[in-house]
Amino acid sequence: MSLAQTALAVVVDAALGVWLGSMLFFSFVGAPTVFDVLGDDAGRVVNAIFPKYYVFGVALGAIAGLGAVAAGLSGEFDSNRLGVLALAGIGAANAAYARWVLVPKMDRAGEDAFAQYHKQSVALNGLTMLAVGGALVLSHL
């Protein structure tokens, strides 16, 4: 593996690792702690975080996907790199949908439909974690 390919592999792994780590931390430590401490006011804090959280995911997905493409162009574009690209793309698409479709729906619906949209948000987040984790595994095969 050339120096350029190694550098690109590090970029891909760093983007995927930071993305997966941030999702796990927010989902299992950050958000629950905010709700434990702030109670009813926690929704306002989490809703203020969501747009940035999802844009962060889109950006990291783009970095990982572009890094996988660049690594493939500088060497061999095998099925693992294609898988990394596809899974990073799925994750980024989920984050983009959540940011630009789901979050505005949640904002418009208010508390009446929060439970419905929250379930969708949790499901998308879980699928995104699986996609990003899968991409990280594939990047090492």
pLDDT tens string 53-105: 999 999 999 999 999 999 888 776 788 889 999 999 999 999 999 999 999 98
Among all chains, which residue has been given the structure tokens 């940011």? Answer: 99
Whole-prediction pTM value? 0.92
User: Residue 78 carries which DSSP code?
Assistant: -
SS3 content of the chain, % helix, strand, coil (to 5): 95, 0, 5
Q: Quick one: pLDDT band at residue 47, thresholds 50, 70, 90?
A: confident
